[in-house]
Amino acid sequence: MERIDKLLSKLNIASRKEAKTLIKKGLILADGVKITSADMKVSENAVISYSGKEYTYQKYRYFLMNKPSGYLSANKDPKDKTVMDIFVEKYPDIKVSDYFLMGRLDKDTVGLLIITNDGDLTHRLLSPKYHVEKTYYVKIDTPINESIKKKIEDGVYIEKDVLTKPSKIEILNDEMTECNITIVEGRFHQVKKMFSLNGSNVTYLKRIKFGKLILPSNLREGDIIELSKEEIELLKNEN
């Protein structure tokens, strides 16, 4: 159980001081019951009604963004626009400093990006020992043949002492210039470096899957949705 004024503050409805005024005016309901005192205790999961809207407190929240090109995967940057600039515009009541990016994407890379305040889950799923799969749709300017495909899948040195773990490539067109690649790491510019060994430049890169989560086909670049309970469970049950 939680004091109602504290819960209203957590929900960003009002400060604890402001809550007393709202309660005195009879504007706050918890599970359909009018609140009459700021020190009344209610369930932390109570449905709070105020100004025609309903609010339910959630300790952890999970969002999926279709990241657009031109934005850094960072909370803030002194020079460039970041994905959090988009996030705070759509969710102005959220304290951005409490949120984490579950796997970064390059500035010119688009697609699936998870944003959450669940730091423990973020740390676990980004840990190399869990090998969470990430799938990218790739366009390259030079065709790859079966030999190169197998070489990349088996693992290649993208730096002097950095050998990539085995990956999976699905060729999508007859010209062999479009494919899906699934990797279990998240090294800096990794996919671009893997294909550059064939002399290929990646001209378009989009993350379409993170673990079992799939980027919705109807989610436009820059749009954000909050994950459902079922989708959250998919994340939590990775490995």
Query: Is residue 118 annotated as part of the catalytic site, yes or no?
Result: no
Q: Report how far residue 192's alpha carbon sits from residue 41's, in angstroms, rounded to the nearest whole number.
A: 55
Query: Do residues 147 and 197 touch, judged by C-beta distance below 8 A?
Result: no
Query: Do residues 207 and 134 touch, judged by C-beta distance below 8 A?
Result: yes
Query: Do residues 71 and 106 touch, judged by C-beta distance below 8 A?
Result: no
SS3 238: coil
Candidate list 85, 106, 108, 223, residue with the active-site label: 106
Distances (CA, A) of 40 to 88, 140, 182, 234: 32, 62, 52, 37
The amino acid sitting at 193 is K
Q: Where are the alpha helices (DSSP H) in the chain?
A: 4-10, 16-24, 83-90, 119-126, 146-154, 190-196, 229-236
Give the residue numbers annotated as catalytic, written as ranges: 106
